[in-house]
Amino acid sequence: MEKDSTYTGQKDKRTLALIKPDAIQNTNEIEDMILKNSFTILQKRQVTLTAEQCSDFHTGSKHYGKLFPSLVAFMTSGPILAMMLKRENAIGAWQELIGPTNSTQARESYPDSRVLSDVRALFGTNEEKNAVHGSDSPVSVEREIRFFFPNSNPTRPVIIFGPFKETIYDRLMTDKPDKFAISVPHTTRPRRDNEINGQYYYFVPSREQMEEDIQNHLFIEAGEYKENFYGTSVQAVKVSESVIKYLRVAGLYSITIFIKPPDVKWIYDSMGADANKESAQKLYDKTAVETEQIFLDMFTAVVKENTLNDVYEKICQIIEEQQNID
């Protein structure tokens, strides 16, 4: 289940990663390394395993034997973070990034300690306390993902940057009403006789449930009014750009698309009857220059097409590709 059994299948697009108890304090640094190496974190959850769960997870692994009791004690000593990762050749790429099973050997493989780049070399201690885990085969991936993520087909929020994003949002919801919808707020107040659940509000059965969901980062924002909670769920199409990092805390990694206009003329030509050069220039400065400078590292795709209709078609294609994790 570790790097020693290297698998290099090029078509495998997802794998399981665990940050172990000894490296949980380094979660932010490890996630940064993951994202900088072209992975997408599709789902994540933090758990503390019981001895029985740990035994079930490692059934059939090379750790069964004299080292197994020690492994169980270590893996149940504190929280771990499970992550479902996606990219081309995900299994091999993750094993390459984490390095050899033994963290000591991983460090020894770098003659200059200042250029350590493997996760285990940076954050692990030895063979057992080696910071992270990675699946070693497609069979292991499927079993291990099911272990930590029984419902492993998440719906990823879609966030669009750039000019005419509202036009694209509206067309998505018109053309594909079964897939896209504007955010409907949740509330704990009682439903009135003439109200339909999901039309203007989702009515949460209990205050306790919504409090728990808020604590689990399932709401972008929430507040209390007249002893009832109101909140906006992270599962929405029209999500403010400023909450992308909040979505990541909640374990929801958005499909974040930037519409990149080639020049001011493209915007002017796409504005239709309301076109004027001053407005086109302002829109270009705001959406093509400022937005790209601030949010470039958050984009999962950049779209640059000849017409607005071509932009829409390309965005539909990107959403389909990035939403599909199989």
Report H helices in 233-305: 244-249, 264-270, 277-284, 291-295
Of 89, 257, 93, give the one whose Cα is nearest residue 165: 257
Confidence of residue 22 (pLDDT cuts 50, 70, 90): very high
Question: Three-state secondary structure along 175-221?
Answer: HCCCCCCCCCCEECCCCCCCCCECCCEEECCCHHHHHHHHHCCCEEE
> Given a cut of 70, is residue 24 above it in pLDDT?
yes
34 and 167 belong to one structural domain: no
173 and 188 belong to one structural domain: no
> Given a cut of 60, is residue 250 above it in pLDDT?
no
Q: What is the CATH number of the domain that holds 249?
A: 3.40.50.300
Question: Of these residues, 63, 133, 186, 217, which one is catalytic?
Answer: 133
Domain stop point among 170, 200, 234: 234
Whether 91 and 7 have beta carbons less than 8 Å apart is answered as yes
Q: In the predicted model, what is the mean pLDDT of the chain?
A: 79
Q: What is the CATH number of the domain that holds 219?
A: 3.30.63.10
Query: How do 301-303 and 255-259 pair as beta strands?
Result: parallel
77 and 210 belong to one structural domain: no
Domain span including residue 133: 14-148
Percent of the chain's residues with pLDDT above 90? 26
Asked if residue 213 belongs to a domain, the reply is: yes
> Given a cut of 90, is residue 6 above it in pLDDT?
no
134 and 23 belong to one structural domain: yes
147-177, pLDDT tens digit by residue? 888 766 556 778 888 889 888 988 988 888 7
Whether 118 and 100 have beta carbons less than 8 Å apart is answered as yes
> Given a cut of 50, is residue 10 above it in pLDDT?
no
Confidence of residue 267 (pLDDT cuts 50, 70, 90): very high
37 and 171 belong to one structural domain: no
Q: So what's the pLDDT on residue 9?
A: 39
Asked if residue 4 belongs to a domain, the reply is: no
Instruction: Out of 8-17, 144-153, 191-200, 286-295, pick the least confident.
Output: 8-17
83 and 100 belong to one structural domain: yes
Asked if residue 5 belongs to a domain, the reply is: no
Pairwise CA distance, residues 170 & 261, whole Å: 19
pTM exceeds 0.85: no
At 15, phi and psi to the nearest 5? -150, 170
71 and 160 belong to one structural domain: no
269 and 323 belong to one structural domain: yes
Domain stop point among 148, 168, 198: 148
CA 110 to chain centroid, in Å, comes to 31
Catalytic, 186? Answer no
65-75, pLDDT tens digit by residue? 545 788 889 99
Of 44, 248, 290, give the one whose Cα is nearest residue 157: 248
18 and 37 belong to one structural domain: yes
Asked if residue 300 belongs to a domain, the reply is: yes
Asked if residue 314 belongs to a domain, the reply is: yes
Total count of domains within the chain: 3
264 and 199 belong to one structural domain: no
Q: Which residues pair with 46 in a beta bridge?
A: 81
114 and 78 belong to one structural domain: yes
Asked if residue 165 belongs to a domain, the reply is: yes
Q: So what's the pLDDT on residue 309?
A: 94
86-128, pLDDT tens digit by residue? 988 999 999 999 988 887 776 777 655 444 578 998 898 887 7
44 and 118 belong to one structural domain: yes
Burial of 86 (0-12, 13-18, 19+ CB in 10 A): buried
Asked if residue 106 belongs to a domain, the reply is: yes
Q: What is the CATH number of the domain that holds 79?
A: 3.30.70.141
> Given a cut of 70, is residue 300 above it in pLDDT?
yes
Of 145, 128, 125, give the one whose Cα is nearest residue 137: 145
Domain stop point among 94, 129, 148: 148
Asked if residue 123 belongs to a domain, the reply is: yes
